[in-house]
Amino acid sequence: MKTSDVIVSFRGVRKTYDGETLVVKQLDLDIYQGEFLTLLGPSGSGKTTCLMMLAGFEFPTGGEIRLEGKLLNNVPPHKRDIGMVFQNYALFPHLTVEQNVAYPLGVRKVPTAERAQRVNDALRMVRMEGFAKRYPAQLSGGQQQRIALARALVFQPKLVLMDEPLGALDKQLREHMQYELKSLHEKLGVTFVYVTHDQGEALTMSDRVAVFDKGIVQQLDSVDRLYESPCNEFVANFIGDSNRLRGTIAAVDGEYCEMHLADGTRLKGRNVAGAQAGAAAIACIRPERMKLANGSRGNGANALAGEARGLIYFGDHVRMRCGVPQQDECFVKVPLGTEALDGFAPGQPVALEFAPEHLRVFA
| Residues 146-165 pLDDT 10s | 899 999 999 989 899 999 98
In this prediction, residue 99 carries a pLDDT of 94
Which residues 6+ apart lie within 8 Å of 96 measured at CB? 132, 133, 134, 135
Q: Enumerate the domain spans of the chain.
A: 3-234, 241-362
**Does residue 295 have a pLDDT over 60?**
no
The DSSP letter of residue 43 is: T
Q: Is 34 left (phi over 0), alpha (psi -120 to 50) or beta?
A: left
Rounded Cα distance between 356 and 343, Å, is: 30
Residue range 241-362, CATH number: 2.40.50.140
**Does residue 25 have a pLDDT over 80?**
yes
Give the pLDDT band (50/70/90) at residue 316. confident
In this prediction, residue 297 carries a pLDDT of 46
Mean pLDDT of the chain: 91
In this prediction, residue 300 carries a pLDDT of 53
In this prediction, residue 296 carries a pLDDT of 43
**Does residue 2 have a pLDDT over 70?**
no
Rounded Cα distance between 89 and 55, Å, is: 15
At 176-222, the pLDDT tens digits run: 888 888 998 998 899 999 999 999 999 999 999 999 999 999 999 99
Q: Which CATH class is domain 3-234?
A: alpha beta
Whether 3-234 shares its CATH topology with 241-362 is answered: no
Phi then psi for residue 328, to 5 deg, are: -65, 160
**Does residue 223 have a pLDDT over 90?**
yes
Rounded Cα distance between 332 and 243, Å, is: 9
**Does residue 341 have a pLDDT over 80?**
no
At 67-100, the pLDDT tens digits run: 999 999 989 988 898 999 988 888 999 999 999 9
Mean pLDDT of 223-252: 94
In this prediction, residue 293 carries a pLDDT of 80
In this prediction, residue 298 carries a pLDDT of 45
Alpha-carbon separation of residue 327 from 238, 262, 289, 334 (angstroms)? 19, 8, 18, 21
Quick check: 52 and 66 in contact, CB under 8 A? no
Query: Residue 274, Cα to own-chain centre: how many angstroms?
Result: 26
What kind and span of H or E run contains 11?
A: strand 6-16
Q: Residues 25-59, buried b or exposed e (16+ Cβ, 10 A)?
A: eebebebbbebbbbbbbeeebbbbbbbbbbbbebe
